[in-house]
């Protein structure tokens, strides 16, 4: 008997996590952003330190835009996991509270949690850190990502071809 596929059937969790690992933005791929671990509605990610990411050449501290892009994409991964999807996620709002500068030379790690998921918007909380202990983070993040097909549906058919 042959295996039949059900259209739009959710992927088993392990397959979903692997699909999300492989579906990064071009920036995510070039920067080396990794999905290290996943659980339902949660993502642990890391970004390797690279000298090209330095924003302050005197101190070696990373550029805030690099950190922001990493945290934004990491929240998107948590939302994709929460929604059982690999479709694109757009961020409507992103707030980062830096508690101290990143330590030069160390990778950035993040733990993202999708706290609420809905039909049109999702709330995600995240902590960035540079050691094994996620509770000692240096940036707290709140994001409001939205699945792009939901945005297109709300915006009307003129945007439907963009997703």
CATH number at residue 27: 3.10.129.10
Asked, for residue 92, whether it belongs to a domain, the answer is yes
Asked, for residue 155, whether it belongs to a domain, the answer is yes
Asked, for residue 3, whether it belongs to a domain, the answer is no
Average pLDDT for 139-160: 50
- Count of the separate structural domains present in the chain: 1
Q: Where is pLDDT greater, at 80 or 8?
A: 80
**pLDDT score of 135 more than 70:** no
Asked, for residue 118, whether it belongs to a domain, the answer is yes
Query: Who contacts 15 (Cβ-Cβ below 8 Å, separation ≥6)?
Result: none
**pLDDT score of 162 more than 60:** no
Q: Which domain holds residue 63?
A: 13-162
What CA–CA distances, in Å, run from 66 to 69, 87, 101, 111? Answer: 5, 23, 13, 17
Asked, for residue 1, whether it belongs to a domain, the answer is no
Range from 91-95, 99-103, 159-163 carrying the lowest mean pLDDT: 159-163
CB 71 within 8 A of CB 109: no
Q: What is the pTM of this model?
A: 0.74
Asked, for residue 5, whether it belongs to a domain, the answer is no
Q: Which of 95, 102, 90 is nearest to 47 (CA)?
A: 102
CA distance 44 to 77: 9
The CB density around residue 79, as the number of other CB atoms within 10 Å, is: 26
Return the structure tokens found at 127: 């902590």
Asked, for residue 122, whether it belongs to a domain, the answer is yes
Report pLDDT digits (tens) over 141-150: 555 665 554 4
Output the pLDDT for position 35.
Answer: 92
Asked, for residue 4, whether it belongs to a domain, the answer is no
Q: Which of 124, 126, 121 is nearest to 153 (CA)?
A: 121
Return the structure tokens found at 149: 């097909």
Query: Who contacts 26 (Cβ-Cβ below 8 Å, separation ≥6)?
Result: none
Average pLDDT for 36-51: 92
């Amino acid at each position: 008997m042959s295996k039949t596929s059900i259209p739009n059937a959710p992927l088993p969790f392990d397959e979903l996590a692997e699909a999300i690992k492989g579906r990064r933005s071009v920036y995510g791929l070039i920067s080396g952003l990794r999905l290290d671990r996943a659980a339902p509605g949660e993502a642990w990610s890391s970004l390797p330190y690279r000298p090209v990411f330095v924003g302050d050449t005197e101190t070696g501290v990373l550029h805030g835009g690099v950190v922001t892009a990493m945290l934004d994409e990491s929240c998107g991964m948590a939302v994709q996991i929460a929604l059982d999807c690999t479709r694109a996620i757009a961020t409507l709002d992103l707030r980062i509270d830096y508690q101290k500068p990143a330590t030069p030379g160390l990778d950035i790690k993040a733990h993202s949690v999708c706290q609420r998921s809905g039909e049109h918007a999702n709330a995600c909380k995240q902590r960035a850190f540079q050691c094994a202990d996620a509770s000692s983070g240096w940036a707290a993040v709140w994001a409001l990502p939205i699945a792009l097909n939901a945005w297109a549906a709300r915006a009307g058919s003129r945007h439907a071809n963009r997703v």
